[in-house]
Amino acid sequence: MKLVECVPNFSEGRDPEKIRAIAREIEATPGVKLLDVDPGASTHRTVVTFVGTPEASAEAAFRAIRKAAEVIDMTTHKGAHSRIGATDVCPFVPLAGTTMADCVRLARELGRRVADELGIPVYLYEEAAASSERRNLASIRQGEYEGLPDKLKDPAWMPDFGRPVFNPRSGATVIGAREFLIAYNINLDTRDRKLASEIALNIRESGRLRRDKDGNIVRDASGEAVRIPGRFSHVKAVGWYIEDYGRAQISINFTNFKVTPVHAVFDEVRSQAARLGLRVTGSELVGLIPREALLAAGRHYLRRQGKSSGVPEEELIRQAVLSLGLNDVAPFDPGKKIIELQVDEAPAKLVGMDLRSFANEVSMDSPAPGGGSVAALCGALSASLSAMVANLTVGKKGYERVDREMDRTAGQAQNLKDRLLRAVDLDTIAFGRVMEALRLPQATAEQRSERQAALEAANREATAVPLGVLRDALALIDAAGAAAAKGNRNSLSDAGVAALTAAAAAEGAFYNVFINLPNLGDAEARAMIKKEAASLRRRILRRSAVVRKRVETNLRKKVK
């Protein structure tokens, strides 16, 4: 399924009924899922996050903008956050199966519709901007709502859509397409907004204006003000005071967290705050955050502690939450704040069982879960053992020279473990889809054709899942080999079991690939899969034998 994220910001953060009315418009739109509604009384602003198919997301955004125009009156609006209209900004963000070009198209189509049907001037920003001068949201917002009447009279600020006529009730709306934006606040133990602003000027990409010894702005030969760049690219920041919390904050937008990670800015702010005699008490996430941003933070702080970063995702997230102080002003619930955990609909019926329940389920008189799911589980257990040995090696005396390699091995094994655990359920689901296809009616030629197409697709999936497990088993053997060769000697037997279970996963997956192959109608695909599976099996068993021989040789030495 193609998915986009949409994060409209509305200039209302105090009236729950108005906020609910806007949110209901989104919830009532088929094809979208409302993920988060985050109001702020001091900022008088609500950030809403939802995901859906491209067309459904554009429809939901229009309905929400229309409702905001009905319930929000900008003539009486005051708040701490910059704003230009009732719906201040509405960006589209590419997610699964979509590109930035898709989101640019959505932004422009929505902008035209908002201007034509609602009479609200629309500006386009970021990737959807028609000119470089309008890429930056702050530039479009300059002067805010109060300065909008004069701005609309300036030919340089003609709206991208709509007439340059001031709409007193709704103001203007900025619509665009961008990468994932993380809205994030760092909390200080002070009420002094100026101190927060000083740090914000130092860290943000745009930096500050250069001034001479008399405090005058320095200008270049063309008369343009000279700026001193800030510390981080793709970072926007301001300092403000939040009455609700009784403290100052540095409000930050990360426009590309992969270039400038959250933890890097948090650490720098903590250092700068200390130089000003301040203390960072924690931080706050506004809206949602990608899982990888927190995983990267968790790895960073574990490494700083001299520990392995190759731990389960749940532990990395826990470490990130603790280190960044994300519980400082409100409880942080990963299930509600991490976007992938909100939209990940991958089933986990089997993986969610306890060991006895899973074993009981396998033992029943039904063909699934069966060998495919058990093979995937063997692979996950192999990865877990390799990660364990690596983690028992990192930071231990006498193993300093392999520290980085074992940390890397542990991380790779954790990724394999998570992927193979998903395959436990996916294998059983794939079998279920084959059975569903077999039950389709075939009374007419059209029905027979539809049934055959569904059956071919289901059989492809039933073959693809164990083939994926077989491919992963090659990496499992490599992880077990690294653990056996360079891991903690006291865990040698665990590395051996990792190699054995990796081989079992490979053999089991191989069997499941081959039992499904005859059901594929594409002879060329059958031949290619058969060749790949046989090659993978030979390589895995050969490598497994080498690892097992090393383990057994070293175990005999220990006995002597």
Residue positions annotated with a catalytic role: 81, 427
SS3 state of residue 197? helix
The DSSP result for 354-379, as a single string, is -HHHHHHHHHSSSS-S-HHHHHHHHH
Alpha carbon 308 to chain centroid distance?
23
Considering all CA atoms of the chain, what is the largest pairwise distance in Å, rounded to the nearest integer?
91
Contact by Cβ (8 Å): 170, 120: yes
Rounded Cα gap, residues 309 and 387, in angstroms: 10
Neighbouring C-beta atoms of residue 275, cutoff 10 Å? 8
Rounded Cα gap, residues 219 and 228, in angstroms: 12
Torsion of CA 54, 57, 63, 68, to 10 degrees: -130
Strands 173-177 and 122-126: parallel
Contact by Cβ (8 Å): 109, 14: no
SS3 state of residue 59? helix
Strands 280-286 and 208-209: unpaired
Where residue 392 falls (left for φ over 0; alpha for ψ -120 to 50; beta otherwise) is alpha
